Amino acid sequence: MKIIARAHTNIALIKYWGKADSSLKIPLMSSISMTLDAFYTETEFTHNVDLANDMVIMNGKAVNDQASYRIINYVKKLQDIYGFNDHFCIKTENHVPTAAGLASSASGFAALATSFAASYNLNLNRQELSRIARLGSGSATRSIFGGFVEWQKGYDDQTSFAFPINEHPQMDLTMLAVELDVSQKDISSTCGMKIAQTSPFYQTWLNRNKQEISEMESAIKNNNFTRLGELSELSANEMHSLNLTAMQSFSYFQPTTITIMNLVRNLRKNGIECYYTIDAGPNVKILCQDKSVEDICKAIHNTLDSVKIIKSKFGPGVQIINCDD
């Protein structure tokens, strides 16, 4: 029987940027995200004592690199937890274009956790799926759910998981992913957040987390786009300030990143309401409402004429899409 899980990726509005426990990926702060409809991963996990080796096939090609070791080690960790040790094969198709500048690890590990659990008939509920997705990549914890999602930091493996704030939000909210640079980043998220913890402002940022989460929850509940945008931009600015002020200072920004940040601020001054957020890379994501999409795309193309812009709205939680052979 074929078991394929589909998970959508997400963009953090209140950022996760630092761990209390690296091996269990317990974060130092809670985070809130929006699951995106335009980007997803589909994964089929099969296991069998007759397989000679563990295998990872990505977008139709067998892979044997750093990324596949991370995936294989993750599955072995899950097998240890649940008491299995047979060989396995993972077939995964990524529908997260590099152009979007969005990490595929969130959707990738959420889909893998779900297909693993289904394949071994573990009967896990979504909270448990969220917990085991976390062991693959922190941001995957949130991709189990659709709409607006919160990952409560918790304090151990049992208490750190995500839950939906609203899986079917009515908010008029679009995310525009602006492609500025698609080359592989030098500093991975895992590495970057470790370095950021040496910033003298790190504790201050942690101290603010509770309030930022509760303000974002209110903005979502009250359908308040303006407040949601302001808080998202602030959280991104805080995260990137930590990188700049770390002992070993670094930045994910390229000159064009700053161009788009300025453009967003100028658009706002001119009455076109939009806000930016940026993850561990140079690409900028713009949060806006339907009525402004055209004006924003025009303004971007007037400044940087050839950049690709990918539009996304709310996506669903993880699903098993096909159980037939």
Per CB under 6 A, the list member of 130, 137, 199, 283 interacting with ligand DP6 is 137
**Nearest distance, CB of residue 139 and ligand DP6, angstroms:** 3
Q: Return the number of the residue (67 or 293) whose C-beta is nearest ligand DP6.
A: 67
Q: Return the number of the residue (21 or 290) whose C-beta is nearest ligand DP6.
A: 21
> Which stretch in 8-16, 35-43, 152-160, 161-169 sits in contact with ligand DP6 by CB under 6 A?
8-16
Site for ligand DP6 in 283-322 (CB under 6 A): none
When asked if residue 132 is in the footprint of ligand DP6 (CB under 6 A), the reply is: no
Per CB under 6 A, the list member of 4, 6, 8, 16 interacting with ligand DP6 is 16
> What string marks each residue from 154 to 193 as x (binds ligand DP6 by CB under 6 A) or -?
-----------------------------------xx---
Site for ligand DP6 in 231-250 (CB under 6 A): none
**Nearest distance, CB of residue 46 and ligand DP6, angstroms:** 25
72-75-23-216 Cα dihedral, nearest 10 degrees: 110
Per CB under 6 A, the list member of 31, 41, 115, 312 interacting with ligand DP6 is 31
> Which stretch in 11-19, 61-69, 74-82, 160-168 sits in contact with ligand DP6 by CB under 6 A?
11-19
What would the 3-class secondary structure string for the chain be? Answer: CCCEEEEEEEEEEECCCCEEECCCCEECCCEEEEEEEEEEEEEEEEEECCCCCCEEEECCEECCCHHHHHHHHHHHHHHHHHCCCCEEEEEEEEECCHHHCCCCHHHHHHHHHHHHHHHCCCCCCHHHHHHHHHCCCHHHHHHHCCCEEEEECCCCCCCCEEEEEECCCCCCCEEEEECCCCCCCCCCHHHHHHHHCCCCCHHHHHHHHHHHHHHHHHHHHCCCHHHHHHHHHHHHHHHHHHHHCCCCCCCCCCHHHHHHHHHHHHHHHCCCCEEEEECCCCCEEEEECHHHHHHHHHHHHHHCCCCCEEEECECCCCEEEECCC
Per CB under 6 A, the list member of 4, 5, 7, 12 interacting with ligand DP6 is 12
When asked if residue 15 is in the footprint of ligand DP6 (CB under 6 A), the reply is: yes
**Nearest distance, CB of residue 213 and ligand DP6, angstroms:** 12
Q: Return the number of the residue (16 or 45) whose C-beta is nearest ligand DP6.
A: 16
Applying CB under 6 A, the residues found at the interface with ligand DP6 are 12, 15-17, 25, 31, 103, 105, 137-139, 189-190, 279-280
